[in-house]
Amino acid sequence: MTESRHRALVVDDDPDIADLVVMVLEGLDMDVSVAGTGEEALALARERQPDLVTLDLTLPDADGTEICERLRRFTDAYIIMITGRDAETDRLIGLEVGADEYLAKPFSPRELRARATALLRRPRSGLRAGDGGEEAAVVVRSADVELTDLGGGLLVDPLTGATRHRDENVPLTPTEAKLLVTLTRQAGEPMERADLATEVRGGDFIASDFLIDVQVAGLRRKLRAATGRDRLTVVRGTAYQLTVVD
């Protein structure tokens, strides 16, 4: 394996599904590991530091949303939630806890391949596994890059989206970080939802607007928790605006 080869972690207790996902990802020249339980997935994610995780929503020892949320504490790996449940509520929950994509079974290998390829083209936030446990993880910002000051102690790395408020890291998923970088470029001005989706997701697989809406809602909630105020507002029902404060 070369250093440039992407690593993937497949988390599924169904051997047939796991084998299919492994076949697709190995076809993308990825180095693939497999976990059948949530705890095994967390251990392998720390050891292997994957670039991409496919995560079944139903695992024998834990709910996939719980594992997704725990993964997000220490890794910026792209997460594709794979599940037999196709209710919109399940999709919303998966996206809110940090999943980047959502695939319902049965899915085609071609669709998985396309989604994985699209995710790996996106810049990542720089959140990596640390040595002090899940709560000790930090966001790594770009070296020698001037941070964007949004006022009130909120600073954003314009390349990675790594965000701090008064010397405290604001933990964002890769998609949330990309959203914030995009909105920061147009801070103080409204950005149409469709334009934001194109910038953040490249126009790939936007079946409905709720995907961007849910991810913006997650970003808004985290910024509010960190700063004590709303920094994202809805404009005309079709646009979002990031507020700069004095």
Residue 202 has a pLDDT of 63
Distance CA 159, CA 156 (A): 9
The proportion of the chain whose per-residue pLDDT surpasses 90, expressed as a percent, equals 38
Q: In whole angstroms, how large is the CA radius of gyration of the chain?
A: 18
Mean local confidence (pLDDT), 17-46: 96
pLDDT tens-place string over residues 61-75: 888 888 988 898 888
Residue 46 has a pLDDT of 95
The CATH classification number of 134-242 equals: 1.10.10.10
| pTM of structure | 0.61
Residue 123 has a pLDDT of 63
Tokens of 174: 């890769």
Whether 162 has a pLDDT exceeding 60, the answer reads yes
Residue type at 216? V
The distance from CA 201 to its chain's CA centroid, rounded to whole angstroms, is: 11
Tokens of 173: 């998923």
- Strands of 31-35's sheet in order across: 31-35, 7-11, 52-56, 78-83, 101-104
Residue 131 has a pLDDT of 37
Q: Report the chain's mean pLDDT, rounded to a whole number.
A: 82
Residue 134 has a pLDDT of 39
**Lowest mean pLDDT, pick from 97-101, 166-170, 234-238, 242-246:** 97-101
Q: Report the CATH superfamily, name and number, of domain 7-120.
A: Response regulator (3.40.50.2300)
Strands (E), the chain: 7-11, 31-35, 52-56, 78-83, 101-104, 148-149, 154-156, 163-165, 168-170, 191-192, 232-235, 239-242
Query: Residue ranges per domain, the chain?
Result: 7-120, 134-242
For the chain, first and last CA: distance in Å? 50
pLDDT tens-place string over residues 91-133: 666 666 678 888 888 889 999 999 999 888 876 655 554 433 4
Whose CA is closest to 42, among 77, 85, 2, 82? 77
CA angle 208/210/213 to nearest 5° reads 135
* 3-state secondary structure (DSSP) of residue 19: helix
Distance CA 225, CA 143 (A): 27
Confidence band for 177, pLDDT divided at 50, 70 and 90: confident
pLDDT tens-place string over residues 202-214: 655 444 456 677 7
Confidence band for 24, pLDDT divided at 50, 70 and 90: very high
Residue 144 has a pLDDT of 66
